[in-house]
Amino acid sequence: MIAIADYDTGNLRSVSEALRRAGAEFVVTSDIGTLRRADKVILPGVGEASASMARLRERGLDTVLPTLTCPVLGICVGLQLMCRSSDEGGGVDCMGIFPVRVVRLPEATPEGRWKVPHMGWDTIGELRTPLFAGLDEETYVYYVHSYAPQCGADTIAVTDYGMRFSAALGRGNFFGTQFHPEKSGAAGARILENFLNMK
């Protein structure tokens, strides 16, 4: 069984539709017992990190999710909440699964000016782990974000947009994408399929 963690944040519908297209059976739940019994867990997210982290804490999910032993996939803000901290909303401590900080994308660098939020199609490179099996370097995926995780030892894909940031992170059974695989066409469908096939 696949569980989509429900903590009253966005993109539940688009993630659900992507799983339906993949032929996967799933439940949308905030029930701790159901999440512990799941074979896979997806932590979606759209919105602001500090408010989203507060909702996770209200449901007790901030202490449960880091203890899961099944494959877990965070998407966009879901990934950011799995990091050590986020600068968004004045700064907030997050779950610390990935020991990296989430920072705001720059609007100006010596190379030029950058429109923030970073919205639309962009490439990912330096792909590692089975999450990206069958994908080529510089594959295009879909982004909508103003903040992103810094790069570190757990970086498994990168994108450059004003700065080099972690397009995806992976550590043990935990994975996360800053982009939206559920909105990334065939490439995103392949990433979700790879995740669903993990043991």
pLDDT in tens, 28-66: 999 999 999 999 999 998 889 999 999 999 999 999 999
Token match 């903040």: residue? 147
pLDDT in tens, 139-166: 999 999 999 999 999 999 999 999 999 9
Query: How many CB atoms lie under 10 A from the CB of residue 68?
Result: 19
Catalytic residues: 76, 180, 182
pLDDT in tens, 72-97: 999 999 999 999 999 998 999 999 99
76-88 in b/e burial notation, b at 16+ Cβ within 10 A? bbbbbbbbbbbeb
Rounded distance, CA 38 to CA 107, Å?
41
Q: What is the Cα 42 distance to its own chain's centre?
A: 9
pLDDT in tens, 5-21: 999 877 788 999 999 99
CATH topology for the 2-196 domain: Rossmann fold (3.40.50)
What is the DSSP secondary-structure string of 58-127? HTTHHHHGGG--S-EEEETHHHHHTEEEE-GGG-EE---SEEEEEEEPPSEETTEE--SSEEEEEEEBS-
The DSSP bridge partners found for residue 165 are 159
* Under 8 Å between Cβ of 142 and 188: yes
Rounded distance, CA 43 to CA 76, Å?
9
* Under 8 Å between Cβ of 90 and 53: no
pLDDT at site 8: 87
